[in-house]
Amino acid sequence: MATTADIRTGLVIEYKGHRMKITEFLHVKPGKGGAFVRTKLKNIMTGQVMDVTFRAGEKLTTVRVESHRMQYLYDEGDSFVFMNTETYEQISVQRELMAEEMLLIKEGIMVDLTFIGQEVIGISPPLFVELEVTESEPGVRGNTATGATKPAILETGHSLNVPLFVGIGDRLKIDTRTGEYVERVK
């Protein structure tokens, strides 16, 4: 058991029979009345996000989560296969659970998988990844003072906007939190 004072981003709690992950929170102490905590809770199974307010000192049931560093091996159609590099144990994770996060992950990259017991509930990729551009229109010379961009597709299938000087075959550093271009890598 925990109280509202223990709330932090990433904490998994039991709320109305569902396992919910706290994505945002704000402690509020109004001039009148008691303090409270505003939170955004994300249902781990459905992905639904809801705003919930807890009174200060309210008891919460926490769920124990573990994180394991694993290597992404390959895409198996309806699931992704990961391997624990210490024990060589392989696990398959359903595509629906992490399809969006996997758009920036290529084979061989190390990621942190979050577990509740034996069940995978999430993935934490590295903050930055280096990926190669596979499709891009040629850049048009001219007015580049405005920071003009063009669409490009990376080797994992992720599409994003890049500066005009980026071409096919260039390696780019991508921020996995936003999915945006950071810099070109030599």
Q: What is the mean pLDDT of residues 104-133?
A: 89
What is the model's pTM?
0.71
Burial class of residue 154 (count of CB atoms within 10 Å of its CB; 0-12, 13-18, 19+): buried
35-64 residue pLDDT tens: 999 999 988 878 789 999 999 889 999 988
127-157 residue pLDDT tens: 999 999 999 888 666 655 667 888 999 998 8
Closest CA to 126 of 107, 112, 106, 108: 112
Closest CA to 116 of 2, 18, 9: 18
pLDDT confidence of residue 172 = 93
**What is the distance in angstroms between the CA of the first residue and the CA of the last residue of the chain?**
50
pLDDT confidence of residue 120 = 85
pLDDT confidence of residue 90 = 93
pLDDT confidence of residue 144 = 58
Confidence class for position 6, pLDDT limits 50, 70, 90: confident
Domains of the chain: 2-62 (2.30.30.30), 66-124 (2.40.50.140), 128-185 (2.40.50.140)
Q: What is the mean pLDDT of residues 7-31?
A: 90
pLDDT confidence of residue 141 = 64
